[in-house]
Chain A
Amino acid sequence: MTGPFAWFKWEALFAEWTVFGEGALMTLAASMLALALSLALGVMFGVMSTSHWKIAKAISRIYVEFIQNTPLVIQIFFYYHGLPHLGLSLPVFSIGVLGVGVYHGAYISEVVRAGIQSIPKGQREAAYSQGLNYVETMKYIILPQAKRIVLPPLANQAVSLVKNTSVLAMIAGGDLMYRADSWSSQNLYYGPAYVTTGILYLMLCLPLASLARNLEKKAEVHA
C-alpha cells in the first residue's frame, strides 16, 4: 500500500511528532503576542477614528485602508524581503507578531469604531456637559457600553488571526504550517501531515470560535 495515507507514513509522523508539537507551540505563542498587539492598535486607532481631531482621524483612515486593501502575504514579504534593504532585518518570529498584529489591528480598529458609533451621540454630549474630557468619556462612558457590541466580532478576529499566522510558512517561519509543509515535503508523506495539522489548528481555533458564538448569542439576548 503506497497511497497518500499509507500506514508507514503515519508511523513516520508519530515517530517525529515533536516537529508538529513545537510548530503548534510556536503558532500559539505568535498568535497570543500578535493578538495583544492587534488589540492595542485596534483600540487606539478605533478611538482615534471617532475623535474630532482631524489629523488623528486621517492617520487612522490611512492605516485601516492601506492595511485592509493589500494582502497580508505582501505585507509579510515586505517586512521579510524588503526591510533588510534598508538595513532593518527583523527576526522572523517578530515579523510574524508584527505583521499579523498590524494586519488584524486594522480590522479590530474598524470593529471598535463601529462599536463606539453605535452608542448614541447624546451620551457623549451628556458626558461632556458633566465636565468629562474626551479620554474620560471614552474610558468610563462609551467603551464599556461598546464592549457588548464589539466582543463577538473581536472573538471572530482572534480566530482569523490564529489562522493567518500560517503566513509564516511562506517565510520559513518555523510555525505549525511551516513544520508540516517542510516535514512532508522532505519525505513526501503529505497526507498524514495535513490531517494532523488540520486537527491541531482546529484545537487552537474551535474554543475561540465557540466563544464568539456564545458572545453573539448573549449580545442578541441583550439587544
Chain B
Amino acid sequence: MIKDLFKAENLMFLMQGLAVTLTIAVATILLSIMIGTILGIARHSRNKALSRMSGVYIESVRNVPMLLFILAVRFMTPLNAVVSGIVAMTIFTSAVIAEIVRAGLNSIGQGQWEAAKSQGLNHVTTLVHIVLPQALRNITPALVSQFITVVKDTSFVWAVGTEELTGRAIILMGKHNNPVQVFTLFGLVAAIYFIPNYVLSHMAHWRQRKILH
C-alpha cells in the first residue's frame, strides 16, 4: 500500500509541487521586502500626503484575506498561474512588511536623527546609514516569522487550482485513498513544510541571541 504511494512518479509529482511552492514563496518574499520597505518608509515619512496614501494602501490590504487577492488576480488579470500567485501574495505581503518596517523605524529614537543632523548628515543619508540598519536589527524576528507565514500561505493558491505542494497532495489522495495512504500523505506534506520553517524560525532566535550578547 505504502509502496504504491512512494512510487518515483508520485514523489516527482510532489516535488514539482514543492518547486511551485518555493518559487512563489521566494519571489513573494523578495518583492515584498522591496515594496514593503518603500511603503513603510513612506508611511513613516513626515510628508502627510505620502504617509496617508501609503496608510490607505496598507490598511485596506492588510484587513482583507489574502485569498481574495489570489482569486481576483487569478481571474481578472492575464497573468499565468504562478505569476498571478506571486503578484497576489506580494500585494498582500508588502502591506504587512510595510507595517513591520514602520514599527521598526518608530523604534529608533528621535535622538538618533538629531545627532546625525548635528553631524551634518542629510535626511536620506541618516535614514540609509544610521536608522535603517538599526531598525532592521529590531525587526528581524518579525520579518522572519512573516517569511514563514508566506511559505505556509502559498497553499492558498490551490484555491484557484494552481498545483503547489498542498494541491498535489490532494490530487494524489484521490488515487491513493485508503486510510494509511491518506495519513502518510498528510504526514509527508506536513513534514515537507515543517522542516524548512522550523530551521528558519530557529535561525532567527539564534541570530537574535547573538545580537543581544
The short answer to whether A and B are in direct contact, CB under 8 Å, is yes
List CB contacts (< 8 Å) of A165-223 with chain B.
166-167, 169-170, 177, 180-181, 190-191, 194, 197-198, 201-202, 205-206, 209
A55 to B186, CA, bound (A): 27
User: Are A74 and B63 interface neighbours, CB within 8 A?
Assistant: no
- Is B159 engaged at the interface, CB distance under 8 Å to the other chain? yes
Most buried by A among B153, B156, B178, B189: B156
Partner of B65, one of A66, A81, A201: A201
Q: Which A residues are CB-close (under 8 A) to B60?
A: 202
B interface, size bucket: 35 or more
Contact indicator A72/B67 (Cβ below 8 Å): no
**Interface check B173, CB cutoff 8 A:** yes
Of the listed stretches B2-10, B43-51, B192-200, chain A binds B192-200
Nearest residue (CB) in B for A204 is B63
Interface residues of A in 143-171 (CB under 8 A from B): 159, 163-164, 166-167, 169-170
Q: What is the predominant secondary structure among interface residues of chain A facing chain B?
A: helix
A1 within 8 A of B: no
Cα separation A170 to B182 with both chains bound (whole Å): 18
Also in contact, A181 and B166, with CB within 8 A (given A70-B190, A71-B153, A201-B65)? no
Residues of B within 8 A of A (CB): 59-60, 62-68, 71-72, 75-76, 148, 152-156, 158-159, 166, 169-170, 173, 178-179, 182-183, 186, 189-190, 193-194, 197-198, 201
Write the residues of chain A forming the contact surface with B, with a CB cutoff of 8 angstroms. Answer: 4, 65-66, 68-74, 77-78, 81-82, 85-86, 159, 163-164, 166-167, 169-170, 177, 180-181, 190-191, 194, 197-198, 201-202, 205-206, 209
